[in-house]
A and B are shown apart, each in its own frame.
Chain A
Amino acid sequence: MDEIIVKTTELTKKYNNKAVVDDLSLEIKRGEIFGLLGPNGAGKSTTMNMICSLVKPTAGKIELFGTGSKSRRREVIRRIGYIPQELAIHGNLKAWENAELFISLYGLKGEKLRAAVNDSLDYVGLGEKRSEYAKNFSGGMKRRLNIACAIGHSPELLIFDEPTVGIDPQSRNFILEKIKESNSKGATVIYTSHYMEEIEAICTRIAIMDNGRIIACGTSAELKKMVSGSEDITLEEVFLTLTGKKLRDIAD
C-alpha cells in the first residue's frame, strides 16, 4: 500500500464565519505530483498554508507523514520544503548568503550546510552566480534562487505555490524540469498554478477546488472523461466547465 504523506480530514477554515476551506478531505501519496487547481478565492492557498502550519484550521485534522501530533511538529516540518508565491529572498544578500540563511533554518550547519548551499545553487543553475546580490537577478533567476533556498535540506515533501508567475518560458521550463527531477528522486510535490498546461505536464493527479471544496479529483485523463466522456478536450475546458465562466474578483 502506498504511504500517505498528506492526509486532511474534514478540514475547515472560516474567516468571519465564512468558510474559505470547507470540509476538505484529501490524501496525497508518496511520490505523487499533486496539482491543486482553482479560481481565485477557491481556497488553494489557505489549504496549502494550513498544511504548512501557517494557518490554524477552524476544524478538521491534518496528518503529515502519518502523524498529526503537534509535539512532533518541528520534526515533521523539517521534512517539508515550502516555495511561496512571493520571492522570499533578501535582495541585499548574495545568492549563497540567501541559500545559507534559509537552508540553515532546517538545522544544517558546518560542512553539511556548505555542501547543501553549493548543491542547491548548482541544481537551479545559479552556481556561477553565487556571489552576486539577489537584487541584481532577473525574475527567473530570483524564482530559481527561491527554489534553491527551499530544497537545500532535501525535503521529502515540496510545496510549490505558483512558482512560475511572471517569468519567461525558458525559466518556467527549467523550473518544471527540476520539479520533475526532484520527484523522480523521491520527493512528493504539491503544486498550485493557474497555468493549465503546466499542471497537465507535470502532475500525476489533479484536484479542482471551488468555494473551499474539492469538486473533482483524478488524473488529467480521468477529469476529461468525467466532464466530456472523452479525452478530446483540454484541461482548461474541464476547469471552466466545472467552475463556470463567471469572473472571480476575490482575493485568493
Chain B
Amino acid sequence: MILYLMKNNFKLISRNKLAVTVLLLGPLVTIAMLSGAFKEFMSSYKVPDEFSVGYRLNGMDADSTDALKDAGREAGIELCEYPEGDPEELINNNGLAAFVEFGDGEYTLYKSDDHKPEGAVTEYFFERAMNEGVNAALDMVSPAAEFSSALPETELDHMPAVDSTDYYGIIYILYFSCCGMICATGMLGSEKKNGIEKKYRVCSISDLGLLMARLLPTMGVVIVCTLIETFVTAALFGVHWGQPLVSALIVIMMILAFCCVGFLLHSISGNLAITVIGLFSVVWILGYLGGSFETYMYSSTSEAVKQITPFYHANRALVELSCMGHSDYVYSSLFFSSCIAAVSMILTIAVYKFYKKT
C-alpha cells in the first residue's frame, strides 16, 4: 500500500517544476557567485612561508624543545623563547602569530586575531607534535628528530587551506539540500487544498506509513537533484569531493534530518508558508553558526556553539574529506543527523496522533 502512495507522491513532487527548478538552480547560482566573490577572501588566508611563534617553558625539560624547534623551522615556524611577560602583550609587541606556554603535562596556546591562519597552523602543528610526536608533525614537511611528551589530547582545530570553489561548492550543495523539503510543498499543498488528509485518515494507513510515504519520495527527489548539482558543479566549476561514498552518506543523512524537521514543522503548523519559513530559518541559523556563510575555520562563532551545530560537523567532515581525504567529524556528523531525524520523526508521529485524537 505504501509503495503505491510513495510512487505517486514521488510523481507529484517531481512534477512541481518551480520547486525543483529552485532546488536545482539555487546552489549553482550561489556557488558561482560566492566562489568567485570569496576567491580573494579565501586566498587572503594563505599562510606565509615563515612566521614567528613565542614560547615559554614552565617546568618542562629544555632539551626536549630542540627537536620541536627544528621541526618548527622546517615547517616555517620560528619558535622564539620568552621566559617572562604577558603572552598577549608579547604577541602584540613582537608581531608574533601565536604564543605557547608549556606547563606541567599541558600547554596553552594564545593566538593573535591578526594572524588567524598562522594561529591555526600553529595549533595544528602542536596538536600533532604533542599527541603523535614530532615525526607526525613533520609529515607536513619532512622526517625529523624524535620527541616524546606525555601531554594530554586536545581537539584538532585546523585543516590545510582549502580552495574557495571547493569550500563553497560543497557547503552550498549541502545547504540547499537541507532546504530541499520545500519541493514537497506541491504534494502537501494539494493534500490540504483537496481534503486528501481526510481520506488518509479514513483508510487503514498508519501514521508511520503516512510519514514514510511523504518523507521518502521527498528525499528521493532531493537526492536526485543533489546528485545532478554535484555532477554539474564538478564539471562547470571543478568542485572536488573526497571519499564519494562517505560524503554521499553524510549528505543523505543531512537531507533525511532536515526533511524530517520540515515535516515536523508542517505537522505542527499545518501551514505551508510557516513550514517553509521555519525550515529556512532553522537551516539558515544552523548554517550561519556552522560555516555555511563565514568559513568555519575562521568564523567568530565560539567553539562551544560550533560543536553543537550539526552543520559544523557535516561541513567540516565534507570539506576535510575533500582536502585531506579523511575527517574525524564523519561519525559526529552522522550521529547528529541521525539524532535529529529520529527525534523529528517521533515528534511528527506524536503530532499526527494528537490531531487524530482531537
Chain A contacts to B: CB under 8 angstroms:
52-54, 56, 74, 77-78, 80, 82, 84-93, 97-98, 100-102, 104-107, 109, 113, 149-150
Contacts and interface: CB of A to CB of B under 8 A. Distances in A.
B204 A74 contact: yes
A29 B259 CA distance: 47
Nearest to A77: B204
Contact of B199 (A84, A93, A107): A84
A86 B194 contact: yes
A102 B190 contact: no
Contact of A92 (B4, B190, B203): B190
A106 to B, nearest CB: 6
Contacts of B3: 109
B221 to A, nearest CB: 13
A100 B202 contact: no
Contacts of B8: 90, 93, 97-98, 100-101
Contacts of A84: 195, 198-199
Contact of B16 (A88, A92, A98, A109): A92
Interface of B: 1, 3-5, 8, 11-12, 15-16, 186-187, 190, 194-196, 198-205, 357-358
B112 to A, nearest CB: 58
Given A74-B204, A107-B204, A86 B11 contact: no
6 contacts: A88-B198, A88-B199, A90-B187, A92-B11, A97-B11, A100-B4
Given A90-B194, A97-B11, A82 B202 contact: yes
B195 A107 contact: no
A105 B204 contact: yes
Given A92-B16, A105-B1, 12 more contacts: A56-B357, A78-B203, A82-B199, A88-B194, A89-B194, A92-B11, A92-B186, A93-B11, A98-B8, A102-B199, A106-B1, A106-B204
Given A88-B195, A109-B4, A80 B202 contact: yes
B202 A90 contact: no
A109 B1 contact: yes
A84 B200 CA distance: 12
A102 B203 CA distance: 9
A78 B199 contact: no
Contact of A52 (B15, B16, B190, B202): B202
A77 B190 CA distance: 24
A84 B191 CA distance: 13
A146 to B, nearest CB: 9
A77 B250 CA distance: 41
Contacts of A102: 199, 203
A84 B187 CA distance: 19
B204 to A, nearest CB: 4
Question: Could you say which of A80, A92, A109 has the most chain B C-beta atoms within 10 Å of its C-beta?
Answer: A92
Contact of B12 (A56, A78, A92, A113): A92
A86 B5 CA distance: 20
Contact of A105 (B15, B195, B205, B358): B205
A53 B199 CA distance: 11
Contacts of B186: 92
